[in-house]
Amino acid sequence: METLIYVVLDALITGTILYLAGHLTAVKIAFKEAVICVLLSSLLGFIPVIGWLVSIIAYFILLKRYTGAPIWPNIILMVLVSKLLSVIIIAMLGGFN
Q: Within a domain: residue 70? A: yes
Q: Within a domain: residue 8? A: yes
Q: How many domains does the chain have?
A: 1
Q: What does the pLDDT read at residue 25? A: 93
**Are the C-beta atoms of 67 and 75 separated by less than 8 Å?**
yes
Q: What does the pLDDT read at residue 65? A: 97
Helix pair 51-67, 76-92: axis angle to 10 deg = 110
Q: Within a domain: residue 97? A: no
Residue 82: which residues within 8 A CB-CB, separation 6 or more? 14, 17, 18, 20, 21
Residue 24 C-alpha from the chain's centroid: 15
Provide the domain limits for residue 71.
2-92
> Which residue did the predictor score with more confidence, 95 or 13?
13
User: How many percent of the chain have pLDDT more than 70?
Assistant: 97
Least confident of 9-13, 30-34, 49-53, 78-82: 9-13
**Are the C-beta atoms of 43 and 56 separated by less than 8 Å?**
no
Return d(Cα 58, Cα 62) in angstroms, integer. 6
Least confident of 20-24, 52-56, 85-89: 85-89
Q: Tell whether omega for the bond before 48 is within 30 degrees of 0, i.e. cis.
A: no
Q: Within a domain: residue 77? A: yes
**Are the C-beta atoms of 18 and 86 separated by less than 8 Å?**
no
